[in-house]
Amino acid sequence: MDQAVVWLTIFVLSVFVGIEVISKVSSTLHTPLMSGANAIHGIILLGAVLVTGATTSTVWLVVGLVAIVLAAVNMVGGFVVTDRMLQMFVRKRKPPTKEDPPPATSSAAPTRGAPAPADRPTGSGGAA
């Protein structure tokens, strides 16, 4: 098989996989998902390293180093900020360590409010 066709095959299959894996995402997670996807394309850092590591001219070394800095910001910052966001979705029992902690009376009580009635799904509907 022609090498270009091999690449095309990978591309087309990846398109379908990309759509399929996120097709059921709830709108609750749109922001972290976008942020996580954003971090994944930071993998251009790998490309920047490959190009910079192969160059012998000073001009292109500088261009490559700039690309590496930018790509590293994208990749590392993207994953860190996504993790920070997702941390908040995890229900922890320990008191918050923020600068402005809510009063101790209600810091971590998980059972509050009237119990959710059974006549509706508990907030995890699909993104119809």
Q: How far is the CB of 17 from other proteins (least distance, A)?
A: 6
Q: How many residues bind other proteins (CB under 8 A)?
A: 99
At 45 the three-state DSSP class reads helix
Among 1, 97, 104, 113, binds other proteins (CB under 8 A): 113
Q: What does the per-residue mask of binding to other proteins show for 26-45, with x meaning CB under 8 A?
A: xxxxxxxxxxxxxxxxxxxx
DSSP state of 95: P
Q: How far is the CB of 16 from other proteins (least distance, A)?
A: 8
Give the H/E segment covering residue 72: helix 58-72
Of residues 47-106, those binding other proteins (CB under 8 A): 47-57, 60-61, 63-91, 96, 100, 102-103, 106
Under 8 Å between Cβ of 116 and 122: yes
67-76: burial string, b at 16+ Cβ within 10 Å, e else: bbeebeebbe
Q: How far is the CB of 73 from other proteins (least distance, A)?
A: 4
Any contact of residue 9 with other proteins (CB under 8 A)? no
Q: How far is the CB of 97 from other proteins (least distance, A)?
A: 12
Under 8 Å between Cβ of 39 and 82: yes
